[in-house]
Amino acid sequence: MINSLVQAILLGGYYALIACGLAFMFQVMRIINLAHGSLAILSAYMVWMITDALALSPFTSLLLVLPIMALIGWLLQRVILERATKGGELLPVLSTFGLSIVIDNLLFQHFGANTRSLASYVGDLSWESYQFFGLWIGKLPVIILGSAIVVIGGLDLVLRFTALGRQIRATAFDPDTAGLVGIDARKMAAVAAAIAMMTVAISGTALGLRGTFDAYAGAPQLLFAFEATIIGGVGSLWGVLLGGIILAIAQSIGALIHPQGFLLGGHFVFLLFLFARIYLNRDFFTLRHWFGKRVKGNPYEH
């Protein structure tokens, strides 16, 4: 049982890593990027191609892919999302959904249905483990969990304590007012998208290192990222880490109950958190509306 809990926490680190880019884009731009999983698979393929062609380490290849994904994020914001947001809240969702279909089919056309993996390029790291008190803990899952903590912590520090972070937060809160004080809201949105795509590149590499991927593997990754984001709270990056761990623990408990309960356990906990948030928000807004009416009325009434 303890071993299952430890492995679930390590798996939660991967879920948090793939979810932080999705949560960051929603927190900054209020956009649900349905192409998130497909872009992660795209980055995994790019890392695989560079690694295979140049005989480099996947970690070195990732350094080359990061600026490419940042450029893709910049173009995604300027060419698609910026225009889509002018058409209402639904249009960006439909646009990113269409983009995911295009990416998936292009990857399938180019690479076919064969699965790929980066595990063979890191040698013994793919299976080596630490031993603590009778528990065997994989080195690679520990690295992925550490990467999730570093990425989330770095994003949190940037948003809190840097001028760039303050400009991004101001743009997210009110882009029109931010423009009045000299902040280029269009530029900040593009920078935020570029940062989010860099985290997507890291998560795609993590997926390739810990398992296999194919052209249509983006949808499950999007689902895991979305569930971890909702469980942890869309307004908190550290909450995404907690959400990823809770999701992984629920999946592990589901697998212990039934061999096919791995995914069902995660979906069940996700729905519990989703309905709880909807119910609590409804009660909050009802109380605020009632309180506002009471304040505006006669304070000595009744």
User: Would you state the structure tokens that stand for residue 252, as one six-digit string?
Assistant: 């592990």
Q: Are 171 and 4 in contact (CB under 8 A)?
A: no
- pTM over 0.85? The answer is yes
301: left (phi over 0), alpha (psi -120 to 50) or beta: beta
Note the pLDDT of residue 88. Answer: 78
Residue 236 domain flag: yes
Tokens 């096919």 label which residue?
260
Note the pLDDT of residue 263. Answer: 84
Q: Cα(169)–Cα(192) distance, rounded to whole angstroms? A: 10
Q: How do residues 65-91 score in pLDDT, each as one tens digit?
A: 999 999 999 999 999 888 888 877 788
Q: Are 22 and 229 in contact (CB under 8 A)?
A: yes
User: Would you state the structure tokens that stand for residue 139, as one six-digit string?
Assistant: 């080195």
Note the pLDDT of residue 287. Answer: 39
- CATH label of the domain that carries residue 263: 1.10.3470
Residue 284 has pLDDT above 90, yes or no: no
Quickly state the pLDDT bin for 1 (edges 50, 70, 90).
low
Q: How do residues 127-161 score in pLDDT, each as one tens digit?
A: 787 777 777 788 899 999 999 999 999 999 988 88
Return all residues near 231 (Cβ < 8 A) that are at least 6 apart. Answer: 242, 243, 244, 246, 247, 269, 270, 273
Residue 124 domain flag: yes
Which stretch of 116-120, 172-176, 182-186, 210-214 has the lowest confidence by average pLDDT?
172-176
Distances (CA, A) of 297 to 286, 292, 293: 17, 9, 6
E strands present in the chain: 129-132, 135-138
Quickly state the pLDDT bin for 208 (edges 50, 70, 90).
very high
Q: Residue 131: give the domain boundaries.
A: 2-296
Residue 14 domain flag: yes
Residue 174 domain flag: yes
Q: Compute the average pLDDT of residues 39-49.
A: 96
Return all residues near 212 (Cβ < 8 A) that are at least 6 apart. Answer: 115, 116, 117
Into how many domains does the chain fold? 1
Note the pLDDT of residue 294. Answer: 44
Residue 27 has pLDDT above 90, yes or no: no
| Dihedral over Cα of 275, 276, 279, 281: its sign | negative
Which residue blocks in 76-184 are alpha helix, DSSP H? Answer: 82-84, 90-111, 139-161, 163-173, 175-180
Residue 301 domain flag: no
CA angle 150, 200, 136 (to 5 degrees): 55
Q: Among 48, 55, 72, 76, which Cα is nearest to 205's?
A: 48
Residue 18 domain flag: yes
Residue 53 domain flag: yes
Residue 250 domain flag: yes
Tokens 């469980």 label which residue?
231
